[in-house]
Structure 1
Amino acid sequence: MKNTETPSQRGLKNRHVQLIAIAGTIGTGLFLGAGKSISLTGPSILLVYLIIGALMFILLRTIGEMLYIDPEQHSFLNFVSRYLGDKTGYFISWTYWLVVIFTAMAELTAIGSYIHFWLPQFPIWLSEIFVLALLTALNTLNAKFFGETEFWFGMIKIVAIVGMILTALILMLTNFQSGGVSVGFQNITDGFKFFPNGVSKFFESFQMVMFAFVAMEFIGMTAAETEEPRKTLKLAINQIPLRIILFYIGALVAIMCIYRWQDIPADQSPFVMIFQLIGIKWAATLVNFVVLTSAASALNSALFSTTRNLYALSKINGDKILIPFTKMSRSGIPIKALLFTSGLIFFTPFISMIPGISNGFVFITSVATNLFLVVYIISLITYLKFRKSSDFDPHGFVTPWAKVLVPITILAFALIFVSLFFFSDTIIPAIGSLIWIFAFGIIAKFRPSKNT
């Protein structure tokens, strides 16, 4: 039958996806959480970032390989239903959609607090509604406008990181001293220990670093919106290791070269300290602007991602209640899916009014991280099934050493998930994620198959 629907337009250019891929490796966790991460385990935090970065790269290569075979898919999760069955696909797809919704709500809460920094008299809930309405409006236009918005959001984050790395290099070349200590690599190497605060703190840092990397798989969905999805996908994914080394490892090395890691406070952004050190008195304002755009970028990406996921889920599951979300606007946007998604995120300001919202924020983001791990593990299992299917193309965008690296990655993600039950800050969210897995897993299991 001929498809009479308005197709989703491929409105993103290569420059959009390439910069979105770069910025996607830079999260608010780096700007705000670098001090806490470094305080846990010192310079060995670099090893943790390298390990998680390598695991995420393997995950992205497997996702990229499947999308390369079928670039018409707007979500990599569609492959779960294809290779693991409808029930598993139903469970993981809706889990992923809800997780990103929760992540978006957390980012919107953060945006409200960042704006409050400048406008303490302005109601937080009103600023949250304004930002959500603005980003929703931009997302109703077409994929090109999303790309432009995300392009400039990402550019701000990249300039901040590069500026800090260049600052460290200049201070080292001029033999600058900070607190009576010379800026240089000796601040990292002198008295180096892998576990300066104990083995438990080293493993506790994995959860924090994992949170900084989640949602990096979003690059797969942006590639589906480009004019040349296969070419763009390969470029974006293959360059991720270099970007991790430059922007994450580079930033952390720069921070620890300027300050002895023992002197970096856990509750303060090192970016503020560094910009103040070079004479920028309004460093707090500068960093607040950067983290605001970073959170806005994450919210913008979440809107784009959850809208496409809801559209894809509605087409796949075929439930009558979901039919409205399959409709496209003239500009190729699943408009009803976008408005419904925004409507759910709209409840964020009301959550912000609940006493103890800071704890709620931590809980939501922690649960999201836990469930992201579940999604990643099932996605990797899906890939192993894909490798055994007739769809596998040994001449395509093949994941290197997949038979060894993919099982190792599955085991590593599983161990990180299990480790969450052994730390006070993560045990309650870990239990909450188990409740969701059990409860929604039962719903998915006993849901009638769409083929029956």
Structure 2
Amino acid sequence: MAHKKSSSAEQEKQTMKRSLSNTHIQLIALGGTIGTGLFLGVGNSIHLAGPSVILIYGLVGLFLFILMRALGELILSDLHKNTYIDFITEYLGKSVGTVSGYLYWFSWLTLAMAEVTALGIYFQFWWPKLPTWIPGTITLVILLVINLVSAKVFGNLEFSFAIIKIVTIIAFVILILYLMLTGNKGQYGTIGWSNLITDGGFFARGGKGFLRGFQMVIFSFIGVELVGLTASEAQNPKATIPKAINQLPVRIILFYIFAIIAILLAIPWDKVSTTSSPFVQALEGTGIKDASAIINFVVISAAVSATNSFIYSAGRLLFSINYDGKNKLSKFLGKLNNRQLPANGLIVSTLIMGLAPILNLFLGDNAFEFISSVATSMFLIIWSIMIITHITYRKKTPNTLLPSYRMPLFPYLDIIDLLFFIGMIILLLWLPTYRISMISALAVFILLCLIINLVREEKEKSQ
């Protein structure tokens, strides 16, 4: 009897605590769609594609909504699984699951490095001579401590950050529209629709410019699947996960497309900065006193929020990959502490994120662009594997065992989504600017495949 109780306790200990409420999940889902990709990276997208970047955001948002519908069905088919990697392992095999897990984990680390790099850029708005590594390093230490307290504390912090970001975006859009309707002039002339089509029209950069704009836009959307990683700690995932996913198209329209239109109303597209936040630039251009300082604070909070989310995600992924492992390292990384948190995974992940300043020293001003393009490349591979996992799951699962929340028009939407992601991989290989990043991501994927297979073969020989 005592043995049974001990076994039950051990099982309970290895299950993450369900401490995230409905409000937490909704705000994490909202906040997850607003980060550095929008606040900083959008300038790069506008520079490359011109006003047609609005169309790119709509297209990418549509394909990622399809992805989230597939992932939502997977999550709700088995709520005992910790992350998407558990599903990849079950339906595509342990080797593919392990490779995908480490690639996905490394992708989150790369994203965090991009955010840490962006933080240094934002703080230079007030202190131009401040070394870019200082704000990021301090932020990582503080956020690690917060993540080691509980998932609920993480949820409360994300709740606060999400509120700040959402209110700011809405206020920004309303302010620009008000200034346009009242005929106000800013630093760049009259605020109005003419700025959208100045110097070349909607497709001012032509077809190649339109295609070049996809990389940073895709980077902007990375993090939308964070809502799925919260399922194992959500109090009522069957209700909150579908609701959060179904609201994604509305969030894309409100917080991406409307915000970008507002920027382009205030600034001619060819004057948008690529080295600082276009939101700060737009408000500086209106002449409203201290407005740019306020939005810079919000931009910083968005980067801190994103970094917080990436620490949360990376720690849980590292735990999930190593859970139930037999070697010493797997046992170390694949266990929960007495707070039911993957503490070791969180600490190791954050330490690696702290390497971002070293990359900044080597890459200088190009650090953010390079890191973001590597992250985009890795996520395109991961998303492709996720779609293949969903297709395999549906083929192996009888209709009677499918959850009520299903991917519509299966398998056609899955196939269209997969073709889009593969098309983006080919596009990044074709464009010289992103070729090295995409080749690096593919090289990491192939190297992981080789290492995992070698380890498996050695294990089989020794048995």
TM-score between both structures, scaled by the size of structure 1: 0.92
1:75 aligns with 2:75: no
Query: 1:383: which partner in 2?
Result: 390
State the 1:383 CA deviation: 0.3
| 355, 364, 371: which one aligns with 2:378 | 371
Helix, strand or coil for the counterpart of 2:40? helix
**Structure 2 Cα separation of the partners of residues 391 and 295 of structure 1:** 43
Does structure 1 residue 156 correspond to structure 2 residue 161? Answer: no
* Amino acid paired to 1:379: M
1:149–1:180 CA distance, 2 compared to 1 (3 A): closer
> Measured at CA, do residues 286 and 425 of structure 1 come closer, stay the same or move farther in structure 2, by a change above 3 Å?
farther
Deviation at 1:350, TM superposition (A): 4.2
2:249 aligned partner: 241
Alignment of 1:41-56 (within 5 A): 41-56=49-64
User: 1:445 offset after TM fit, Å?
Assistant: 3.2
Out of 96, 101, 107, the position equivalent to 1:93 is 101
Q: Please give the residue correspondences for 1:58-73 in structure 2 after superposition, counting only pairs within 5 Å.
A: 58-73=66-81
Match of 2:365 among 347, 352, 358: 358
| TM-score, normalization by structure 2 | 0.90
Q: CA deviation at 1:58?
A: 0.7
Identity of aligned residues (%): 36
**Residues 377-402 of structure 1: per-residue CA shift (max 9 Å, x gap):** 01000000010123664452101112
Partner of 2:36: 28
Instruction: Output aligned runs, 1:8-407, within 5 Å.
Output: 8-119=16-127, 124-178=132-186, 182-185=190-193, 187-188=195-196, 193=201, 195-352=203-360, 354-390=361-397, 393-394=401-402, 396-407=404-415
Whether contact under 8 Å (1:93, 1:313) holds in the other structure is yes
| CA separation of 1:215 and 1:317: change in aligned 2, threshold 3 A | farther
C-alpha RMSD over aligned residues: 2.5
Task: Supply the AA of the counterpart residue of 1:378.
Answer: I
The offset of 1:243, in angstroms, is 0.3
Q: Is the 8 A contact 1:326 1:337 kept in 2?
A: yes
Alignment check: 8 A CA contact 1:106 1:365 kept: yes
Please say if residues 85 and 320 of structure 2, whose CA atoms lie closer than 8 Å, have aligned partners that are also in contact. no
Q: Are the counterparts in 1 of residues 95 and 453 from structure 2 also a CA contact under 8 Å?
A: yes
Summarize the Cα distance change of 1:446–1:396 in structure 2 as closer, same or farther, 3 Å threshold.
Answer: farther
- What amino acid is aligned across from residue 236 of structure 1 in structure 2? A
| CA gap 1:192/1:397 in 2 versus in 1, 3 angstroms | farther
Task: Give the alignment of 1:409-424 within 5 angstroms.
Answer: 409-424=417-432
Moved over 6 A (4+): 189-192, 449-452
Moved more, 72-81 or 356-365: 356-365
Tell me, yes or no, if the aligned pair for 1:68 and 1:397 is still in contact at 8 Å. Answer: yes
> How many equivalent residue pairs?
451
Q: Separation in 1 of the partners of 2:113 and 2:47?
A: 28
In 2, Cα distance between equivalents of 1:358 and 1:257: 28
Between the aligned partners of 1:119 and 1:202, the Cα distance in structure 2 is: 35
Partner of 1:444: 452
CA displacement, residues 148-183 of structure 1 (integer Å, 9 cap, x when unaligned): 111112222212211111112212332334468654
Which residue number corresponds to residue 429 of structure 1?
A: 437
Q: 1:182 to 1:362 in 2, by over 3 A?
A: closer
Question: 2:42 touches 2:216 (CA, 8 Å); kept in 1?
Answer: no
